[in-house]
């Protein structure tokens, strides 16, 4: 499908999802979403009743997943955990839109997945592996010396047993407009939050906002809830500048909002579908400079897909726990204890 047509379809779908528009197509989407919901519920039933096999591996498995499609902050939270765990970890990714072979492989270039490659560049204590078969990927991680596994996007991947279930929700849309895909953004029912051991609520504005959303989440789970947000690391280079900006991420609004909050004047912006490479970046740079932009900004995930474009600056951010820090410390303690116990078992 042509990129322009695909973008128009994406914009239309988001309008349907957000505004609950009534039209023949929206009715069709509703019925499709009900079939999708039923399929998910049946699948979960078979796993819950242990009618589908669940494999175990020899090291602790920590699942980091979500119930809503799109960017919620899973990759950033995995990065935070990886940074705070002193042990070598194996990060297992599906490698969305990556040129992945059937056999699991260690990430060495961006073609194997932009987010996975970004994590491999960022963390020396991680072996990042992409592949459809997560059990095969886990074996490779163990072979390479990993002491625990971080299962990226693991909530819907139930073929492998997990010791810890972490679910990341985004504060802008915690329950995916209340409808399953494609009518809404839900990949799984909010009732599945009952299975979570820990909840990460990302993108909270302040404590009042955190407490308000926490009450809604507590209707579905008794799991401890942490509130996180992004902290900009290279803001001094960017704030109050006249800029052009582009991104290809799941939540582009968050990216543009951060730039505006730094006092930037955005003369032009380009939003592409998540994970897509920006092949017309040079032309965009030229057009933005003609409109008076001093700098061109993109996300780190977009930047690693560019080659030899010195005029572009990546906005570097990290996730930080703002509320429920004691819960986060307890989570780290739990994972470290699992690693220690596993080591002792095999001595």
Domain containing residue 330: 61-230+320-345
89-93 vs 126-130, strand pairing mode:
parallel
Give residue-wise pLDDT tens across range 264-309: 999 999 999 988 889 899 999 999 999 999 999 999 999 999 876 7
88 and 210 part of one domain? yes
Task: Give the Cα separation of 200 and 186 in Å (integer).
Answer: 17
Q: What is the pLDDT of residue 70?
A: 85
Task: Give the Cα separation of 111 and 97 in Å (integer).
Answer: 9
8 and 87 part of one domain? no
Task: Give the Cα separation of 265 and 145 in Å (integer).
Answer: 47
Residue 251 lies in a domain: yes
Contact in structure between 232 and 262 (CB atoms under 8 Å):
yes
Contacts of 22 (CB under 8 A, 6+ apart): none
Q: What is the CATH number of the domain that holds 209?
A: 3.40.50
Residue 53 lies in a domain: no
Give residue-wise pLDDT tens across range 240-257: 999 999 999 988 999 999
Residue 55 lies in a domain: no
157 and 302 part of one domain? no
300 and 202 part of one domain? no
Locus of tokens 């302040």: 206
154 and 210 part of one domain? yes
281 and 295 part of one domain? yes
pTM of the complete model: 0.91
Task: Give the Cα separation of 114 and 305 in Å (integer).
Answer: 7
311 and 326 part of one domain? no
Domain count, the chain: 3
200 and 118 part of one domain? yes
Contact in structure between 196 and 222 (CB atoms under 8 Å):
no
Give residue-wise pLDDT tens across range 326-347: 999 999 999 999 999 987 776 5
175 and 153 part of one domain? yes
Residue 115 lies in a domain: yes
Q: What's the Rg (C-alpha) of the chain?
A: 21
Per-residue pLDDT of the chain (347 residues; tens, 9 = 90+): 344 444 444 555 566 556 566 678 888 999 999 999 999 999 999 999 999 999 999 999 999 999 999 889 999 999 999 999 989 999 999 876 555 566 899 999 988 889 999 999 999 999 999 998 999 999 999 999 999 999 999 999 999 999 999 999 999 999 999 999 999 999 999 999 999 999 999 999 999 999 999 999 999 999 999 999 999 999 999 999 999 999 999 889 999 999 999 999 999 999 999 888 898 999 999 999 999 999 999 999 999 998 767 789 999 999 999 999 999 999 999 999 999 998 777 65
Residue 56 lies in a domain: no
87 and 220 part of one domain? yes
Contact in structure between 244 and 266 (CB atoms under 8 Å):
yes
Q: What is the pLDDT of residue 309?
A: 75
Residue 201 lies in a domain: yes
173 and 105 part of one domain? yes
Residue 339 lies in a domain: yes
225 and 331 part of one domain? yes
Residue 246 lies in a domain: yes
């Amino acid at each position: 499908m042509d990129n322009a047509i695909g973008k128009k379809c994406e914009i239309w779908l988001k309008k349907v999802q957000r505004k609950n528009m009534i039209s023949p197509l929206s009715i069709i989407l509703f019925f499709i979403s009900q079939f999708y919901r039923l399929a998910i519920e049946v699948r979960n039933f078979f796993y819950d009743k242990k009618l589908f096999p669940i494999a175990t591996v020899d090291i602790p498995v920590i699942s980091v997943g979500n119930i809503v499609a799109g960017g919620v902050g899973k990759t950033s939270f995995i990065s935070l955990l990886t940074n705070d765990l002193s042990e070598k970890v194996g990060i297992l990714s599906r490698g969305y839109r990556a040129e992945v072979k059937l056999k699991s492989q260690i990430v060495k270039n961006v073609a194997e997945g932009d987010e996975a490659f970004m994590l491999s560049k960022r963390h020396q204590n991680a072996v990042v592996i992409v592949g459809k078969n997560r059990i095969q990927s886990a074996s490779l991680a163990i072979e390479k010396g990993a002491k625990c596994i971080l299962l990226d996007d693991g909530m819907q991947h139930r073929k492998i047993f997990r010791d810890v279930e972490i679910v990341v929700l985004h504060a802008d849309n915690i329950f995916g407009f209340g409808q399953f895909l494609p009518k809404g953004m839900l990949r799984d029912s909010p009732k599945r939050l009952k299975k979570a051991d820990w909840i990460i609520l990302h993108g909270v504005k302040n404590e009042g906002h955190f407490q308000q959303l926490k009450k809604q989440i507590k209707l579905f789970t008794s799991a401890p809830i942490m509130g996180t947000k992004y902290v900009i690391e290279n803001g001094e280079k960017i704030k109050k500048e006249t800029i052009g900006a582009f991104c290809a991420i799941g939540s582009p609004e968050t990216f543009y909002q951060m730039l505006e909050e730094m006092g930037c004047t955005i003369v032009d912006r380009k939003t592409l579908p998540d994970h897509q490479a920006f092949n017309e970046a040079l032309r965009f740079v030229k057009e933005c400079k003609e409109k008076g932009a001093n700098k061109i900004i993109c996300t780190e995930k977009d930047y690693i897909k560019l080659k030899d474009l010195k005029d572009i600056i990546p906005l570097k951010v990290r996730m930080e726990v703002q509320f429920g820090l004691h819960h986060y410390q307890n989570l780290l303690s739990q994972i470290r204890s699992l690693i220690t116990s596993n080591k002792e078992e095999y001595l």
